[in-house]
Structure 1
C-alpha cells in the first residue's frame, strides 16, 4: 500500500503505468480535513493496490502552483499520464469509495476536467512517486 504525505521528487508516471492514484488535496488548518483523514487512510489500507497520497496544499505550494483549492477536501484521481477527476468531494468516506470505484471499474472520459487537472496530476505524481 502506498499512503503517504508529500515526499521527495522522483520520476513521473509513464503513459502505460497502470497504478491508479488517489490524492486528497487538503490543508492542515482545516478541521474537516483533519476529521476526514482517518477514513481516507482506512480506505487506503483496504485498497493497497492504489497509490494514496495526502497532500497539504500549503506545505506543497510548489506542486499546486497557482491553482486555487477553495473547497476541502478536493480529490484528484489519475492513472498513467492522465487525470480523470479533480474536484471537491463531500467529506463522507462512502462517497470517496464509490467515486474511486467508479473510475477504476470503467474510467469515464476526462474531457470535462479543468484544464489544470492533468498538469497538476503529473506534477504531483512526479514529486510523490
Structure 2
C-alpha cells in the first residue's frame, strides 16, 4: 500500500478508521523530511494492515497548527481514535519498525479503560 495524503477534511475520518494510522507531517523544503520519505514509503509497502498518511504542513497549515506541529518531520500514530505516539524527528528504518511493533502490541481495551477512568475522575 502506498501512502495517502490527508487534509483538514479527511483527517478525522482517517483517525476513525479501524486500521492503525501513522501520519508523517512534512514540508517540501525540509531536508530531514525528504530523507525520511523513502523509509516511510518502504514501511507502507511492508505493512498493509496499517494506513500510512502524509500531511504537507505548507499546504495544510490550519491542520498542522491544530495538531500543534512545531517541528518537522513529526510522526503521529493513532489507533481506534487514540493518539498513541507523537514525536518530532526522522526515524531510521529499524526505529520505525520497532514503533510499528509496539503499536501493534498495544492492548487497546486497556487503553480505552484507562481513558474512561481518567475521564470519570475529571468529571467527579
Give me the TM-score of the superposition, normalised by structure 2: 0.72
Are residue 101 (structure 1) and residue 101 (structure 2) matched?
yes
Query: RMSD over aligned Cα, in angstroms?
Result: 2.6
Match in the other structure for 1:69: 70
**Which blocks of at least 5 consecutive residues in structure 1 are unaligned?**
112-129
Larger-gyration structure (1/2): 2
Q: Report what 1:22 is aligned to.
A: 22
The aligned length equals 108
Runs of at least 5 residues in structure 2 that lack an aligned partner in the other structure: 115-124
Deviation at 1:79, TM superposition (A): 1.2
Q: CA deviation at 1:74?
A: 1.1
The correspondence of residues 1-129 of structure 1 with structure 2, limited to 5 A, is 1=1, 3-6=3-6, 9-10=9-10, 12=13, 13-14=15-16, 17-66=17-66, 67-70=68-71, 72-106=72-106
Structure 1 contact 22–78 (Cα < 8 Å) conserved: yes
TM-score w.r.t. length of structure 1: 0.70
TM-superposed CA distance for 1:46, in Å, is 0.4
CA contact (8 A) 1:4 1:52 kept: yes
**2:39 counterpart SS class:** helix
Say which structure is richer in helix: 2
